[in-house]
Structure 1
Amino acid sequence: MRIVFMGTPDFSVPALTSLVEAGHEVLAVITQPDKPKGRGKEIQMTPVKEKALEYGIPVYQPVKAREPEFVSLLADMKPDVIVVVAFGQILPKSILDIPEFGCVNIHASLLPKYRGASPIQYAVINGEKESGITTMMMAEGIDTGDMLDQEVIDLDKNETGGSLHEKLSEVGGKLIVKTLEKLKEGTAVRTPQDDSKATHVGMIKKSMGDIDWSMDAVSIERLIRGLNPWPSAYTSWDGKVMKLWEATVLEKEYEGVCGQVVEVGWDCLIIKTGKGSLSLKELQLQGKKRLDAGAFLRGYPVSVGTVLKQLSDEQ
């Protein structure tokens, strides 16, 4: 099929690779404009742009894809289908109506659950047992179009936002090839979403990682995994920001206030929460390297009775 591919981050790359390797004619890649990143603020290409250039595919980076001039450019390409994976802009009807087979989106959840920008993180944060990929026909609403295919995967008990991101990225790359085959053959089945079962999740903000120690230990541990690697969960210790990368839930209840260090061992740091307690396994002090609990305690002694606090409470 003649395809225009629209995507921007790492998550989109396996889908582009799969389409090219399956023999489809990718006419062009549309991605977000390059942006400055890092301390040096050097301009960096998007991951999708880098991959497209490797294949010698023309790349376009409109600031606003809905501009009439760009819509006209897309129409002139006469694509059979437009494949969209985490592009980063809402497409207007003028674009959705261009391809013969429509615009197909790869979404990282089992729709209609977790429509919106951050389905991967919320699947972990909310303790879901499974997640997956949905390929869907795009409509004018956000993730509201008819579903085409789904593939389910089980979440590991130690799943992080990062590990689930990688798994679903690969699943999406394989599933889109199967979906396009069905569209071309006329065997694709469009299943309307049950809007009554829909949930919507917005953008992840850094402030979400500011741990409220009055929450139960299970919820905090899920938050730590869900926000790993970005933006990370964190707390305040001795006036410094401490990022938490891994923890284990303990059912044991301790006396004291929420956020209090209730036990310190040679390789464990146990914190009281609103329900149960949390053994911190991997930590990172502001401006320092990530360390396991044992190495951290050897470098930064922490006393029983110390209270970890929400950063927002200290500002």
Structure 2
Amino acid sequence: MNSFRHRQSSLRILYFGTQSSFSIHPLLALLEAKHCITGVVLPVQPSNHVLQSDHIALHTHSNDTIIDYARKHAVPLWNPSTLPSTVEFDVIVVACFPNKLPVHLLDRAQLASVNIHPSILPEYRGPSPLFWQLRNGLRVVGVTLHHMNSSIDSGDIVSQLEIELPIGISGSKADQLLSKSGACLLLEALQNHKFGRKPQTGKGSYQSWPNEKDWHIPTTWPVVRAFNFIEGVKNWGVPFTLLTKRGTVKVQSAIGFRHETSIMGYIRTNKHGQNEVGFSDGWLQI
């Protein structure tokens, strides 16, 4: 039995994440499963860009941060510039880290360097896949555990899981659902000591950060698409622009919706005193 095979019962994991719930849940799963975390690497500082991530505004499920959990379990904390060149690890795990890791670092992993990505790759590559899946009206989304290489989100697939989102789910709950599902895929691979390689097929798609027009909502959309998009990304704190017959209307959230005959782009007050806007198949209460 060679030395690496002997070590596989206690794989050493170097973990890259942020202060988001998407990063915390996989780390918690690793700690609860008694895996050996050699260190947690965090970004030097968060970006000041208002649209830098659909994870930035998300709260964790408790008041504890990823730093708190690392300290409670005596796990070293580093940033990319302070990561020791001498630290040894068998697996790199990334969950919502804003920087692409250099290939020379990925190659130092004895077994695998993997990322938990909240989409079914090769679709929705890029930094904010949940935003784009919600904007495009997807109800069935997913998470992919994949190997990392020199390109963004293009490495071979280890495993994937599709997830149906409830109507009106908040961004934080969707984020937690996806990260916990990704954690399950990771634990399964670690338990089996098997990180398979299935090449990504097809062209796929890549989306960058949203710009101002990506917060515009045409009333030609189905009403449930508009409702799910607003509720799913309102935690970004950016106002939505509804394109109505009276011009543009700024909203921060939606109250609800009804499927019934409507007039697209028309604004009215219903019997409950709520303003509502007509979409292709119903009314959106705002």
- Fold shared by both chains (TM-score > 0.5): yes
**Corresponding letter in the other structure for 1:220:** A
Equivalent residues, number = 257
1: distance between equivalents of 2:248 and 2:134? 29
| 1:228 aligned to which of 234, 237, 244 | 234
2: distance between equivalents of 1:132 and 1:240? 32
2: distance between equivalents of 1:276 and 1:129? 17
2: distance between equivalents of 1:115 and 1:239? 31
Higher gyration radius (CA): 1
**Corresponding letter in the other structure for 1:248:** F
Contact 2:269 2:276 in 1 (8 A): yes
| 2:179 aligned to which of 166, 169, 172 | 169
Q: Does residue 1:278 correspond to 2:283, yes or no? A: yes
After the TM superposition, which residues 94-173 of structure 1 pair with which residues of structure 2 at under 5 Å, given as runs?
94-173=104-183
Contact 2:223 2:259 in 1 (8 A): yes
**Corresponding letter in the other structure for 2:231:** R
| 1:66-88 alpha-carbon deviations (Å, 9 max, x no partner) | xxxx57x2x41111111111111
1: distance between equivalents of 2:202 and 2:273? 48
Q: Does residue 1:26 correspond to 2:54, yes or no? A: no
**Corresponding letter in the other structure for 2:28:** T
| 1:63-120 alpha-carbon deviations (Å, 9 max, x no partner) | xx5xxxx57x2x4111111111111101111111111113111111111121111222
Instruction: Indicate the RMSD between aligned Cα atoms, in angstroms.
Output: 2.9
Q: Does residue 1:201 correspond to 2:201, yes or no? A: no
1:206 is displaced (CA, Å) by 5.9
* More relative contact order, 1 or 2 (CA 8 Å, 6+ apart): 2
1:26 is displaced (CA, Å) by 0.8
1:240 is displaced (CA, Å) by 9.0
After the TM superposition, which residues 255-274 of structure 1 pair with which residues of structure 2 at under 5 Å, given as runs?
258=265, 260-273=266-279
1:167 is displaced (CA, Å) by 0.7
Gaps of 5+ in 1: 38-45, 284-315
| Corresponding residue number in structure 1 for 2:53 | none
1:28 is displaced (CA, Å) by 0.9
User: What is the percentage of aligned positions where both structures have the same residue?
Assistant: 25
| Corresponding residue number in structure 2 for 1:2 | 12
1:235 is displaced (CA, Å) by 4.1
2: distance between equivalents of 1:94 and 1:165? 30
Change (3 A) 1:160 1:204: farther
Change (3 A) 1:246 1:143: farther
Please report the TM-score for the alignment, with normalisation by the length of structure 1.
0.71
Deviates further, 128-137 or 237-246: 237-246
**Corresponding letter in the other structure for 1:253:** S
Contact 2:262 2:283 in 1 (8 A): no
Gaps of 5+ in 2: 1-10, 49-63
| 1:235-294 alpha-carbon deviations (Å, 9 max, x no partner) | 48999953123431534133xx83x42343225322234x344231xx5xxxxxxxxxxx
2: distance between equivalents of 1:124 and 1:6? 26
- SS at the partner of 2:276? strand
2: distance between equivalents of 1:82 and 1:34? 21
